[in-house]
Amino acid sequence: MSVLVGKNAPVFKANAVVNGGEIVEGFSLDQYKGKKYVVFFFYPADFTFVCPTELLAFQDKMAEFESRNVAVVGASVDSANCHWKWLQTPQNEGGIQGVKYPLVADQSLMISTAYDVLAGNFDYNEQGEDVFVGTPQAYRGLFLIDKDGIVRHQIVNDMPLGRSVDEVLRLVDALQFTEQYGEVCPANWKKGEKAMKATHEGVSDYLAHRK
């Protein structure tokens, strides 16, 4: 798998559904550059089982993300029309009605490929024809992108393994803390807790206060 941390987030333009029901063309993460942090996450497919629990969990925490100046954007290989239909379907019928953040349509599989979360790859058969080998869906990849468009964190789960939205918020807090104060965040650090200076003395001081 490609490690994108420390690199520019791959650029794309694609159809997307925004505000829970508006299909737009040419959606790009570039609109947030210089303005917002971005949590960009992939999920396998609309109208599945684990996926709605994740998408709704992100929506439940949108006020927390917005208070941290973070845009949340989801993506799968489904079409914009499929996203739209899922967004209009009530939650008690397997839908995600009420989700307002953008959902990107990666029908070409090129965005999932660029972020290296595609569960399969293109190859050639014996006749020399271009074919897809594997599952044309994205793993549960998540990328935390700073305001300069640089990937600062990435994680990829296999399809059955749902993510922790609280952990995503913790990582946003850690990134913003280090940017503001220049200190580093130790294991299991949470907002409001003591961090440490990136020196031997800083580590010693932190460990001494843990005891």
> What is the per-residue DSSP string for 194-207?
--B-SSHHHHHHHH
CA distances from 44 to 119, 136, 148 (A): 9, 9, 28
Residue 89 domain flag: yes
- Do 157 and 182 share a structural domain? no
Residue 8 domain flag: no
Residue 101 domain flag: yes
Count the Cβ atoms, other than its own, within 10 Å of residue 152: 20
Residue 9 domain flag: no
Tokens 């990666």 identify what position? Answer: 106
CATH of the domain at 32: 3.40.30.10
Taken in order 156, 161, 162, 166, is the CA torsion positive or negative? negative
Instruction: Tally the domains of the chain.
Output: 2
Whole-number Å distance between alpha carbons of 109 and 138: 9
Active site residues: 51
Residue 155 domain flag: yes
Query: Which distant-in-sequence residues (6+ apart) come within 8 Å of 194 by Cβ?
Result: 206, 209
Whole-number Å distance between alpha carbons of 105 and 103: 7
User: pLDDT tens digits for 98-128?
Assistant: 999 999 999 999 999 999 999 987 778 888 8
Q: Which residues form the domain of 57?
A: 14-161
User: pLDDT tens digits for 26-83?
Assistant: 999 999 999 999 999 999 999 999 999 999 999 999 999 999 999 999 999 999 999 9
Residue 205 domain flag: yes
Residue 4 domain flag: no
